[in-house]
Amino acid sequence: MEMLQGQLSDDVLGQLSQQIGADKEQTATAANGIFATLLGGLANNTTDTSSLSSLASALDRDHDGSILDDLASMVGSVAQQSAGQAPKALNGAGILGHILGDRQETAAQQISQQSGLNVNQIMKLMPILAPIVMGVLGRAKNSGGLDLGGLANILMGSAQQAQSGGYGDLIGSVLGQVLGGGQQQQSRRGGGIFGQILGGLLGGKK
C-alpha cells in the first residue's frame, strides 16, 4: 500500500481529479480504496501454486513496472485508449476483469460510499489505477528477484496492511460474494474473508 500510495504525486492526483471531476482529497481516498480492493482481489485469486505461477508469468511478460517511470503520461494514455487498443500493461479494463470479474460495480459502490464520489467516477478511476497496481507488483518482483513464495508473501503482507489500514470491511464486502455471503460479517470481526485469503496464500505457497 505504501508503494502504491507513493505513486500518487500531487501532479498525478491533480490529473486524476480533473479526469473524474472530483477534488484531490476525495480522489486520494477513492484511490486508496481501489488499491486495497485490487490487492485483496489478487490475494483471493492466488491461493495456490498454479494461480501464483500465472500471476508471476503475467508480471514477467507484461508488467515490468516501466509504466511507473512516467505516470502522468500513463494516466493520460489509459484514459484515452479503449481496452482493445491498449497494450496489456495499460489495459486497465482487462486487468480489472481478471482481478474482480463481475464484482467491479459492487466494488465501485462500496468505494463510492467510503469516498463520497459517485459510482460513475469510481468506475472511471478503477481502470486507470489497475495498471499501477500491476506495475508496482512487477517492479517489486523484479527488483527483489522473488520466487513464488516471495510473491505470495508480498500479497499476504499487502492484504494484511490494507485490512489494518481500515479497508477490511471494504474488501470483505467485495469478496464476500466469492467466498460466501456469510463470511462478510465475519470479516468485520477480524476473521472470515481475510482468514481464508491469507490461509490460502500460506497453504498454497511453495
In tens, the pLDDT along 118-174 reads 999 999 999 999 999 999 999 988 888 888 888 888 887 776 776 666 666 666 666
Residues ≥6 apart with Cβ < 8 Å to 146: 140, 154
Q: Which residue from 46, 49, 44 is spatially nearest to 183, judged by alpha carbons?
A: 44
Confidence check: pLDDT of 183 > 50:
no
Hunting for cell 463470511 — which residue is that? 183
> What's the whole-model pTM score?
0.81
Confidence of residue 107 (pLDDT cuts 50, 70, 90): confident
Domain positions in the chain = 2-204
Mean pLDDT lowest for which of 26-40, 96-110, 171-185? 171-185
> Which has more pLDDT, 45 or 189?
45
Q: What is the pLDDT of residue 202?
A: 44
Q: Which residue from 182, 180, 159 is spatially nearest to 171, judged by alpha carbons?
A: 159
Confidence of residue 176 (pLDDT cuts 50, 70, 90): low
In tens, the pLDDT along 17-54 reads 999 999 999 999 999 889 988 888 888 888 788 888 99
Q: Are 152 and 43 in contact (CB under 8 A)?
A: no
146, amino acid identity: L
**Mean pLDDT, to the nearest integer, of 1-11?**
88
Confidence check: pLDDT of 197 > 60:
no
Confidence of residue 16 (pLDDT cuts 50, 70, 90): very high
In tens, the pLDDT along 49-92 reads 888 899 999 999 999 899 999 888 888 777 666 545 667 778 88
Q: What is the pLDDT of residue 180?
A: 43
Q: What percent of the chain has pLDDT over 70?
A: 74
